[in-house]
Amino acid sequence: MMYRKSFEVVGYTYNADYHCIQCTLEYVQEKYKDTYSLWHDQFLGFRDEANDMDLILSDDEGNEVHPIFLDQVGDLVYEDDEDNQYMPHCGDCGEEIS
């Protein structure tokens, strides 16, 4: 059985939406393709492996790209008028962020 850590990165927020790790990787690789040699770790986030440093990435509006940690997902669940609960989903592919 694999146990997950509360500080595991399960998604990211940028461009005013939630995004899964895979879609974020594709977005970052496209946006920063000429800038960094990127490496992604589920606990550390994005790193410039050539310079061994953490990266602070920005979205299309200049806002910082923020990780969503596993222990934050419960705070992102929302309810409709009939008390149905919904998990956050990726704004690109629709995958549930969990």
pLDDT of 15: 96
Q: Residue 6 pLDDT > 70, yes or no?
A: yes
Global pTM value: 0.77
Question: Could you identify the residue written with the tokens 């596993």?
Answer: 70
Q: What is the pLDDT of residues 7-19, one digit of tens each?
A: 888 999 999 999 9
Q: Report d(CA 65, CA 82) in Å as an integer.
A: 33
- What H or E segment, with its residue span, contains residue 39? strand 38-41
Q: What is the pLDDT of residues 24-67, one digit of tens each?
A: 989 988 887 776 566 666 556 776 666 666 677 889 999 999 99
